[in-house]
Amino acid sequence: MSASPHESRGIPLHTKILGGLLVGAVVGVICNLTLGGTHPFVVGTNKYVAGPIGAIFLNLLFMIVVPLVFASIALGVAGLGDLKRVGRIGAKTLGFFLVTTALSVTVGLVMVQIFRPGTRITPEVRTQLLETYAGDAATRMQAAEQSTFGIQTVVNIVTRNPLKSAVDLDLLGIIFFGIVFGAALTLIAADRAKIMTGVLQALNDIVLKIVDFAMMIAPYGVAGLVFGVTSRFGLALLKPLAVYIIVVLLSLLVHTVVNYSFLLRVFVGMSPLAFFSRVRAPIITAFSTSSSSGTLPTSIACAEQKLGVPPQIAGFVLPLGATMNMNGTSLFEGVTVLFLAQVFGVSLSLGDQAIVMVMCVITAIGAAGVPGGSLPLLIGILAMFGVPGEGIALILGVDRILDMARTTVNVTGDLVATTFIAKSEKVWDPKVLPAV
């Protein structure tokens, strides 16, 4: 396949995005250190320049999530043809998600027990952070009351109103409708199905062109988003929470470098270096936007154009992954629950920690693929073990940084899953990759 217009000449897109990220981070830190996060110039820049540019970039991506998810899922199911094959691929995909998510949580729990970051937070620092983020914490706790994971979450997957699911960005409902729609396409007369398949294919192609438009402003949008974080918080909150941050980032790195590389080498038969070199664009997009859903268009385009995965596999696995395969999120939740338990002196037995692992795996499925989407569900887990929900205020100041990192792992896991499914279905050969 030919490269996208903005990649065919000049500086590669991923290099531009990375450059925007670095510029935004460096300029933001400098502004914070020299002027302060509340200086009128910094506040005004965030309000009238950096914030709007970042918001426009994110809005462009979110604008196409619903049509892209529906079209790609429906086409993926219809393209597979045989409903038995759909069931087989779906079962393998969910199985892969569960195994890798359990692996990620295990890594996080082991690391937090080794380093015990919660014991390094002094009572004075804890009080200061709670006071600073009391308002944000109250908002998160209110959201948690409406976002608890339970049997109703499973029931709500079968959406009563697909249009309402689209408006509410309820991706589980949209995915279910797309699966049912695609399955029904395989059961009607071929001549009629062909017309609707053509419409869906055209919709999918149009949406991918809109992705190209969004990517043209991606470097500027990324710079604006990162500037907003670094100019407001700078490095001040990184010092008292340094060990916690290191544990989360190190755990995410171990899961990515060790677990994903092992899966790629052993079960996919692909060089991890070759894989990571080809998925740089979605990785950088995920890191800068903190959104699995927002990165989905880039992930699908990358899987098809850079890895050569058949569209019906990429269109089926990646939308599911953007909603259900949250390796980084579940790892983050596990580390944070144990960290806050240590901060507040709540002792968790091995059995409790096993329950934490299970809950992190389950609730990660219900986490929204948007910035901060896991925090309401995380508060619910804290409440289960008697850890004050207000404790979430301790990590709010650094959550954006960690959100960027865990979203990167989420998206990388989706792409690894896509290659695994394509290889297991014998429709893709890792040794035959598109020219880059």
- Residue 307's pLDDT is 95
Average pLDDT, the chain: 81
* Helix (DSSP H) and strand (DSSP E) numbers for the chain: 22, 0
Lowest mean pLDDT among 77-91, 129-143, 202-216, 315-329: 129-143
More confident of the two residues 185 and 147: 185
Let me know if residue 343 belongs to a domain: yes
Question: What's the CA gap between 434 and 414, in Å, rounded?
Answer: 20
Residues 6+ apart with CB under 8 A from 225: 24, 50, 54, 57, 58, 288, 289
- For residue 414, what pLDDT band results from cuts at 50, 70 and 90? very high
- Tens-digit pLDDT profile for residues 357-372: 877 776 665 555 555 5
What are the b/e assignments for 313-339, b being 16+ CB within 10 Å?
bbbbbbbbbbbbbbbbbbbbbbbbbbb
Q: What is the mean pLDDT of residues 108-121?
A: 87
Burial of 13 from C-beta contacts in 10 A (0-12 / 13-18 / 19+): buried
Is residue 325 a contact partner of residue 317, using CB atoms and an 8 Å limit? no
Lowest mean pLDDT among 44-53, 195-204, 334-343, 375-384: 375-384
Q: Is the pLDDT of residue 178 over 80?
A: yes
Let me know if residue 347 belongs to a domain: yes
- For residue 149, what pLDDT band results from cuts at 50, 70 and 90? low
Cβ atoms within 10 Å of 73's Cβ, excluding its own: 27
Q: Percent of the chain, pLDDT > 90? A: 27
Name the most confidently modeled range: 94-108, 119-133, 282-296, 396-410.
Answer: 94-108
For the whole prediction, is pTM greater than 0.85? no
- Residue 4's pLDDT is 46
Is residue 227 a contact partner of residue 28, using CB atoms and an 8 Å limit? yes
Let me know if residue 268 belongs to a domain: yes
Q: Is the pLDDT of residue 347 over 70?
A: yes
Q: What is the mean pLDDT of residues 408-426?
A: 94
Q: Is the pLDDT of residue 378 over 80?
A: no
Q: Is the pLDDT of residue 212 over 80?
A: no
- For residue 305, what pLDDT band results from cuts at 50, 70 and 90? very high
Let me know if residue 70 belongs to a domain: yes
Is residue 395 a contact partner of residue 244, using CB atoms and an 8 Å limit? yes
Q: Is the pLDDT of residue 283 over 90?
A: yes
DSSP state of 152: H
More confident of the two residues 5 and 319: 319
Q: Please state the domain count of the chain.
A: 1
The candidate with the shortest Cα–Cα distance to 60, out of 210, 224, 206, 203, is 210
Let me know if residue 228 belongs to a domain: yes
More confident of the two residues 82 and 253: 253
Which residue shows structure tokens 């949406």? Answer: 207
- Residue 100's pLDDT is 93
Q: What is the mean pLDDT of residues 253-265?
A: 96
- Residue 211's pLDDT is 75
CATH at residue 170: 1.10.3860.10
Cβ atoms within 10 Å of 150's Cβ, excluding its own: 10
Let me know if residue 245 belongs to a domain: yes
Structural domain span for residue 17: 11-424
- For residue 303, what pLDDT band results from cuts at 50, 70 and 90? very high
Question: What's the CA gap between 90 and 74, in Å, rounded?
Answer: 13
Let me know if residue 4 belongs to a domain: no
- Residue 259's pLDDT is 96
Let me know if residue 331 belongs to a domain: yes
Q: Is the pLDDT of residue 81 over 70?
A: no
Lowest mean pLDDT among 25-34, 150-159, 162-171: 150-159
Question: What's the CA gap between 381 and 363, in Å, rounded?
Answer: 9
